[in-house]
Copies of this chain bind each other. A is one copy, B any other.
Amino acid sequence: MATAIKQKFVYLFQEGSQDMRDLLGGKGAGVAEMTRAGMPVPPGFTITTEACREYYRGGRKFPAELWGQVEAALLSLEEQTGKRFDDEQNPLLVSVRSGAKFSMPGMMDTVLNLGLNERTLRAQSELTGDERFALDAYRRFIQMYGKIVKGIDGDRFEEALTEAKQHAGVKTDPELAPDQLRELVKAFKAIYAKETGEDFPDDPKHQLRGAIESVFASWNTPRAVAYRRLERIPDDLGTAVNVQMMVFGNMAENSGTGVAFTRNPITGESQLYGDFLLNAQGEDVVAGIRDTEPISALGQRMPEVFREFQDYAGKLEQHYRDVQDLEFTIERGKLYMLQTRSAKRTGEAAVNIAVALVEEGLISREEAVARVEPRQLEQLIHPRVDPSAKAEPIGKGVPASPGAATGEAVFDADRAEEWGQAGRAVILVRVETNPSDVHGMIAARGILTSTGGTASHAALVARGMGRPCIVGASEIVVDLKARTLSAGGAKVSEGEEITIDGTTGNVFLGKVPTIEPKPSRNFQTLLGWADGIRKLEVWANGDYPRDAEKARENGAQGIGLCRTEHMFMEEERLPIVRAMIMAETTAEREKYLAQLLPIQRGDFHGILQAMSGLPVVIRLIDPPLHEFLPNYEELVARTSELRATGREPERLAELEKVMARVESLREANPMLGLRGVRLSILYPEITRMQVRAILEAACDLKREGSDPRPEIMIPLVGTLAELQSVKAELLPVVKAVQEEKGVEVHYKFGTMIEIPRAALTAGEIASEAEFFSFGTNDLTQTTFGYSRDDAERAFIVRYLEQKILKVNPFETIDRPGVGRLMALAVKEGRASRPDLEVGICGEHGGDPDSIAFCHELGLTYVSCSPYRVPVARLAAAQAVAAERADSTK
C-alpha cells in the first residue's frame, strides 16, 4: 500500500481545461479555460474532486499526497505572482472557493483575504498605502473564516461590529477609523478564541489547510445533500477547491466588481445583463448590502475596461457557444476575469436563447433542442404565481401537478361541483381523494390534499386534467367536519379564497397574482425542431373530448389512454352504475348496462371525433367494482350508529343491503384483486356493452365522414388465455355492430403490460395482441411490491432520504427492475409480432428520464397528460441527441 501510484490532486489553472469539469469542478474548469484563452485571470490552482472523494473514503482525512502537492502549487503561485505567503514585504493573499461539477447552493462559498495576519497586515497597509482598507480586509477575513470554516454564529461578529459603530458614533462600516478597526479585529479574535477554544491561526498555511478541509466538509451539509436530492445530482461526485490570488475591487475608486450574463437570463434578450459596484468586493454585490448599478453603467465610468469586458464576454459566449454567467473584478483600473459558467435561465429565456443561437449560426437545431430542460417548459405552459408578488406561503406540500390557481376553499366534492357549476372558482381541499371525488376535481380550479404523494389518486387525476395540485401538505391540518384548514397559524373556512402553486407546492392565503402562459413563436419553433429529430411519437392520455382537443393543440399524435371508468363516475350515471353492480342476475345487470350504452357511445363519439385520423386507445373497465359503491367504513359506522340507536329502520335495511354487496366485493388488497381483465371474464356483459358502444360510435362517425381509429385495450392481462377468452367474447360484438351498421372501421385489439407475468410471457401474449401499452404505474407497484396508494407516505420518502432509493420509481422508470421487464417484453413481443405497436401510458410517459429510456427501448410512442405533450416532444428529441452524443464518444 505504501507504493500506491501517486495521484495528481492539484492542477495549476494553466494546466487545466474545460474538458476537465469532472475533476476540477465547473468553476475550476472555467478559470482554467479562460487562463488558456489568455484572459486576465488571477493565477491560482485547483484541488480536484478526486481529492475530495479520497478525503471521504479515508474517513474525512486528507489523502497522503495532497498537502505536499498543495505546497508545491503554492510555490509555483508565489513564483508567478512574485508574492509570498506570510511575506512582510509583498504578501500573497488568496481566495478559497468550492467548485463542484454542478453549481450547488448550500456548499461553502468563499473565504477571501486568506493569508492575512499581523505581519502581512502591516505589509498590505504599506503596499496599498491604505491602513483602513487593510484592517477592514483583516476583520472581514477573521469574520468569514470564523463563520464559514469554524461554523461560528455570524451574529456574534455582527453584534461586535454594531457595538463598535455605536461606540464610534458612526453609521456605516467605512466610517470606522483604523484605530477602531484595530479594536474590532481584537474583538473578533476574542470571539474566535471563545467559540473555538483556540487562537485565530496566524500561519497562512494553517489557514489554507483549514479552509480546504472546510470546503470538503461543506459537500455533506444537510442543505447540500437536500439540494442534490432535489436536482438528482449523485452524492459521490465530491467538490473541487479553488485557491486563487486575491485581487481587490475595493482598493480605490478605479476599482470595482460585478457579475454579468452575456444575455438576459430572464427573457433571453441579447444584451449584457448584470450588476456592478464601484470600489467593492464581490461579496458586497451578492449580499445586496449596497445598491448596485446596472452593468451598462460601467461603460460610462470606465469605457476602456467595459469594452475589454464586452470583448471577453463575446469571446466566451462564442467559445462556449452558450450564454455565460461571468464574475469580474477591477483592481485599480485593471480587469480580472474570475469566473465563467453557463448561465442559469428561465424556461422562457432558455427557449429564446436556444432559438437565437441557432439563428446566429452558433449552434445546430439539435443542440438547441438539447439546451432546454424539458421540465423548464412547464413554466411556459402553466400559469404560475408571480415571483414579484410579495406573498408569504402559509404552508408547503408536494408539488404534484404544475400551475397556479386561486379559488374558494371547498371541502367536499359535491359542493365543489355545485359551486363550480354555478361559475365560482373553487379549490377542492381534502385529506385525500378517491374516485368518488372526481366530479368535484373536474369542477375545481385546483386540488390540495394533506396526505398522499406524487403518485396518489389526487396527483394522478389532477395531472391528467391539467389541474394544479398539491398533495402531502402535512403542515396543513384539514378538518373535514369543521370544513376548515389550518396552517402556519392561519385558519381558512369554507368559501374563503386561497391560492395554490402546483409548481412549487406553496399554499397562500387569499388571491395572489399569477402570470398566464403564452407559448411564443420561438417555443413553437423549438418544438418543431424537436419533432424533426425525435423518433418516438408523443400521444396523450385523455378521457374526454376536451382532453383530446387540448392534446391535439399541443401536438399529440394519438390518445394513448382513454379510461372509461371516469365516465362511470359522473354524477348522473353513478346511480345506474351502482344499480348495475347491485344487480343479482346477469339479466338485471344487462338491463342497466343497456341504459349505459347510449351514454358511453356518446362519450366515445366525442373523443373519436376529436381525434379523427389518429389512434385512440380505449381501456375497458379497470377498477374493482366496489370503488363505484359507497365507502365500506362509512357504511359500518352508519349502520352501527343506526343499530345502536334504533332510528330509521328502513334506511338501515337499505344500507345493510348495500353493505352486504360491498362486503362481497371488497378485498384485502384491491390492487391485486378483481379488476381489469378479470372483471371482463367474470362479467363479460360489461365489456360487451363497452365494445358495442365503441364500435357503434366508430361506425356512426365513419358514416359521417370522420376517420375514427379506436384501439381496444384489455387491462391487467397476465396470461395469454385471458386475452384469448376476452377476445372470443368481444370480437363477435365488433363484427355484429359492423354488420348492423353496414360499415367497416379500422380497429385494433391490444393489451396493457402492467403486471410482471405479462412482461415475462410477452412473446406469447403478442400472438393475440396487436399492441402493447406499458402501464408502468401498476408495473412499478407489482415489480417493487409497493402500493401506490400508501408507499410514498409510508416509506418511499424515508427511502429517498436514506438513499435506499435514488429516485422515486413512480416518477422515473426503475431501469434495473421495471425497465428490465419492459426491455424483455419489447424484445420478445416484437420477435413474435414484428409490427407490434408498443407504447407507454403510465405517469412515466411524461417524465424526461423515462422518455429517454422509452426511446432506447425503441417504443412506438409515449403517452402523457395533454399538458405535458410539449415536454415529452422535447424530451423525445433530446433522447435522440443524447444517443448520438453517446455513440460518438
Which residues of A are in contact with B by a Cβ distance under 8 Å? 632-633, 636-645, 667-674, 678, 681-682, 716, 718-719, 721-722, 725, 754-757, 760-761, 764, 778, 781-787, 789-791, 794-795, 798-799, 802-805, 814, 816-818, 820-821
Contact = CB atoms under 8 A, between A and B. Distances in A.
Nearest to A667: B790
A724 to B, nearest CB: 8
A681 B799 contact: yes
Given A644-B645, A681-B802, A782-B785, 19 more contacts: A632-B633, A633-B633, A637-B637, A668-B670, A668-B789, A668-B790, A669-B670, A671-B672, A672-B781, A672-B790, A672-B791, A678-B794, A681-B798, A716-B785, A718-B817, A722-B804, A755-B784, A756-B821, A757-B785
Q: How many copies does the complex hold?
A: 2
17 contacts: A637-B640, A638-B640, A667-B794, A668-B670, A669-B671, A669-B672, A669-B790, A672-B672, A672-B782, A672-B785, A673-B787, A678-B795, A681-B798, A681-B799, A718-B817, A757-B814, A760-B821
Nearest to A785: B755
Contacts of A778: 785
A795 B681 contact: yes
Nearest to A786: B672
Contact of A718 (B639, B721, B785): B785
Nearest to A647: B644
A639 B637 CA distance: 8
A392 to B, nearest CB: 30
Dominant SS among interface residues on chain A: helix
Contacts of A722: 804
Most buried by B among A632, A667, A804, A818: A804
A71 B180 CA distance: 129
Most buried by B among A632, A668, A716: A668
A681 B795 CA distance: 9
Most buried by B among A645, A781, A787: A787
Contacts of A670: 668-669, 787
Contacts of A754: 785
A667 B451 CA distance: 13
A786 B675 CA distance: 10
Contacts of A799: 681
A781 B718 CA distance: 12
Contacts of A798: 681-682
Contact of A789 (B643, B667, B716, B784): B667
Contact of A820 (B668, B760, B785): B760
B781 A756 contact: no
A29 to B, nearest CB: 32
Nearest to A642: B644
Given A668-B789, A785-B782, A719 B821 contact: no
Given A636-B640, A803-B721, A673 B760 contact: no
A638 B791 CA distance: 29
A757 B817 contact: yes
Nearest to A817: B757
A794 B761 CA distance: 23
A644 B794 CA distance: 32
A783 B804 contact: no
The 9 closest A-B CB pairs, nearest first, are A672-B787, A757-B817, A669-B787, A755-B785, A668-B789, A640-B640, A667-B790, A641-B644, A637-B640
A787 B668 contact: yes
A325 to B, nearest CB: 36
A721 B804 contact: yes
A696 B502 CA distance: 53
Contacts of A633: 632-633, 636
B638 A682 contact: no
Nearest to A675: B785
Contacts of A644: 640-642, 644-645
Nearest to A666: B790
A353 to B, nearest CB: 39
B783 A760 contact: yes
Contacts of A674: 790-791, 794-795
A673 B821 contact: no
Contact of A719 (B755, B787, B790, B805): B805
A805 B761 CA distance: 14
A641 B645 CA distance: 8
B645 A756 contact: no
A843 B417 CA distance: 50
Contacts of A716: 785
Contacts of A669: 669-672, 787, 789-790
A621 B682 CA distance: 37
Contacts of A791: 672-674
A661 to B, nearest CB: 14
Given A636-B640, A785-B755, A794 B673 contact: yes
A791 B673 CA distance: 6
Contacts of A638: 640
Contacts of A671: 668-669, 671-672, 785, 787
A632 to B, nearest CB: 7
Contacts of A678: 794-795
A784 B789 CA distance: 19
A636 B644 CA distance: 13
A679 to B, nearest CB: 9
Contacts of A725: 802, 804
Contacts of A760: 783, 816-817, 820-821
A725 B805 CA distance: 11
A567 to B, nearest CB: 23
Contacts of A641: 640-641, 643-644
A663 to B, nearest CB: 10
Contacts of A816: 757, 760-761, 764
